[in-house]
Amino acid sequence: MSAAAGTLAPRGGAGRLSAYLTLTKPEITFNVVMTALVGFLVAARGAGAVHSRLLFDTLLGTALVAAAASALNQLVERDLDAVMRRTIRRPLPAGRLTPAESLVFAAVLGVAGTVWLAFLATPLASALAAATALSYLLVYTPLKRLTSLSTVVGAVPGAIPPMIGWAAARGRLDPGAYVLFLILFFWQMPHFLALATLYRRDYARAGFQVLPVVDPDGASTARQSVLYTLALLVVSLMPTFLHLAGPVYFFGALALGLAFTWYGVRLAIAPQSPAHASRLFRASLLYLPALCVLMALG
């Protein structure tokens, strides 16, 4: 551990608790739980009832597995995090936790979450959660240093959480579950491309071959962002046609999709503009919870 890192390491119990919490990437875990909640509510509404205890068990198990995956990701990438300004203060590169502590913590969370889902939700929900974590760690994580297509690959496990909720509520996967998967899949692409554009130098320093790093003028990144927002606009309207949501959702999703696409178009007009990339990223952060609320309300 470097001397600088050592000075960042809090020794008190509150500091260690904060370090473990940071290891779980709370923002990402929250998004995973939120989308699993939407999947559960939409599926349960179609089945005629929402069982509160089953919902609680589903969200808790999902949160545990998501937190474990985030912790293991930081364990695997701790040396890369140490060279990126955005991540250098994470618990492992900052020396606030040891790799052994992080591994034990993640293993306990991961096992607890998958077992919890298997016995208190459904085996299918547990299997989907395990597949999400494993594909994120064993496929997406190593691919980030090999190809820009890793973002597309990584969007697959990132889009599974609503299917976990659906599988818990119904015990099976219906067409609606795949529509929710596609919505989250297409949302992730402009969201991450905008983020990677803002932190292009950081990703390049770590050797990540994300599209904004291998696309110096940003033109391809911006074009793909527009295409994904357009695909998202179309797919986001499908729940109405599958009778999973009503007209309020339809027009709300249409308005949100058009606004999101507009921010993508603005980036395409000026692909090297950090301001437009930042606006697209912020729009993505507003879009997802707003759409989830509309869908949950039906």
- Residue ranges of the domains in the chain? 14-142+157-171, 174-298
pTM (2 d.p.): 0.92
pLDDT by residue, tens only, the chain of 298 residues: 333 344 444 456 778 999 999 999 999 999 999 999 999 999 998 777 789 999 999 999 999 999 999 999 999 999 999 999 999 999 999 999 999 999 999 999 999 999 999 999 999 999 999 999 999 999 999 999 999 999 999 999 999 999 999 999 999 999 999 999 999 999 999 999 999 999 999 999 999 999 999 998 899 999 999 999 999 999 999 999 999 999 999 999 999 999 999 999 999 999 989 999 999 999 999 999 999 999 999 8
Structure confidence at residue 3 (pLDDT): 35
Contact status, residue 41 vs residue 56, Cβ threshold 8 Å: no
Residues near 293 by beta carbon (within 8 Å), at least 6 away in sequence = none
- In CATH, what number does 14-142+157-171 get? 1.10.357.140
Give yes or no on whether 14-142+157-171 and 174-298 have one common fold.
Answer: no
Question: Are 272 and 218 a contacting pair, CB within 8 Å?
Answer: yes
As a whole number of angstroms, the distance between CA 285 and CA 256 comes to 12
Q: Which fold has domain 174-298?
A: Four Helix Bundle (Hemerythrin (Met), subunit A) (1.20.120)
- Phi/psi zone of residue 207: left (φ > 0), alpha (ψ -120 to 50 degrees), beta? left
Task: Please report the pLDDT score of residue 12 as a whole number.
Answer: 62
What are the CA-CA distances from residue 202 to residues 64, 93, 158 (Å)? 29, 15, 22
Which helix (H) or strand (E) segment holds residue 25: the answer is: none
**Surface-to-core class of residue 169, CB atoms within 10 Å of its CB (0-12 exposed, 13-18 middle, 19+ buried):** buried
User: What is the Cα–Cα distance from 228 to 215, expressed in whole angstroms?
Assistant: 17
Element (H, E) at 10: none
**What letter does residue 266 receive in the DSSP assignment?**
H
Q: What is the pLDDT of residue 9?
A: 46
Q: Cβ distance 166 to 42 under 8 Å?
A: yes
Do the beta carbons of residue 131 and residue 157 sit within 8 Å?
Answer: yes
- Spatial contact of 280 and 78, defined as CB atoms under 8 Å apart: no
Q: What is the pLDDT of residue 98?
A: 96
Q: Which pLDDT belongs to residue 7?
A: 41
CA distance linking residue 289 with residue 31, whole number of Å? 8
Burial of 199 (0-12, 13-18, 19+ CB in 10 A): buried
